[in-house]
Amino acid sequence: MTDIAANLEDVKSRIAKRAKNWGQDADKVTLVAVSKKQPVEKLQAALDAGHRVFGENRVQEAKEKWPALCDAYEGVELHLIGPLQTNKAKEAVALFDVIETVDRPKLARILSEEMKKQDRNLPVYIQINIGAEDQKAGIAIEDADDFISQCQNEYGLTVKGLMCIPPAGEQPSPFFAILAQIAERNGLEHLSMGMSGDYEYAVQFGATSVRVGTGIFGAREG
């Protein structure tokens, strides 16, 4: 089996090295281990190695895997990193600790209503469609400033920062730099950016959260 403890250490040391070389603070970078489509034994291996922050992209799959693990291990922090349909908002608010994919007003409104109902004020990230790709989720760059303030002021959401997935096959750094710019002008401190193939670049550009799946757990099932 993949040596998950070793992979976690390797990713963390790469983050630390890149941060140090580029004047970033490695202590401010959270490693979100993306556990979608990974077998429970691998998640247990990461938990046994002391890791606690995980990312899942589907509510249904997370619901099947995580409640038992959250009972067995203390202090798990679960991030939703995939698109969220409004009819799943209730379950998402109940299950997750951070929602990284707020990308449209209707979702922001429904999440805010659910959080009030459940008395769970979850931090959220606004997902930006940083490559202006038709098929990708995320609010358009030109609408980002208005949407961020709408989420904060109209819906009362605790906007922690911004999240993006750069276009596949392109050098990601310019997209990371633009995300950092949008965050800065909106007074947001947190940037969720970088995956297995590009998290070191993301750290270089100020990521405070990187989402690494295959780099920790190996290839996904299915």
User: Which one, 115 or 165, has the nearer CB to ligand PLP?
Assistant: 165
CB of residue 119 vs ligand PLP: minimum separation in angstroms?
28
CB of residue 148 vs ligand PLP: minimum separation in angstroms?
19
CB of residue 60 vs ligand PLP: minimum separation in angstroms?
15
Distance CA 80, CA 182 (A): 22
Please list, residue by residue across 103-119, b when 16 or more beta carbons sit within 10 angstroms of its beta carbon and e when fewer do: bebebbbbbbebbeeee
CB of residue 7 vs ligand PLP: minimum separation in angstroms?
11
Site residues, ligand PLP (CB under 6 A):
34, 36, 57, 81-82, 165, 195-197, 211-215
Distance CA 20, CA 11 (A): 14
User: Which one, 161 or 215, has the nearer CB to ligand PLP?
Assistant: 215
How is residue 96 written in tokens?
Answer: 């997750």
CB of residue 55 vs ligand PLP: minimum separation in angstroms?
7
Total residues found in the chain within this entry: 222
Q: Are 30 and 53 in contact (CB under 8 A)?
A: yes
CA-to-CA separations, 57 to 16, 38, 181, in angstroms, rounded: 26, 12, 26
**Residue 158 half-sphere exposure toward CB, CA atoms < 13 A:** 9
User: Which one, 31 or 110, has the nearer CB to ligand PLP?
Assistant: 31
CB of residue 36 vs ligand PLP: minimum separation in angstroms?
6
Give bridge partners of residue 210 from the DSSP assignment.
31
User: Which one, 7 or 24, has the nearer CB to ligand PLP?
Assistant: 7
The residue nearest ligand PLP at its CB is 213
User: Which one, 39 or 113, has the nearer CB to ligand PLP?
Assistant: 39
Report H helices in the chain: 4-21, 40-48, 59-72, 89-95, 105-118, 144-149, 173-185, 199-204, 214-217
User: Which one, 24 or 35, has the nearer CB to ligand PLP?
Assistant: 35
How is residue 121 written in tokens?
Answer: 């004020």
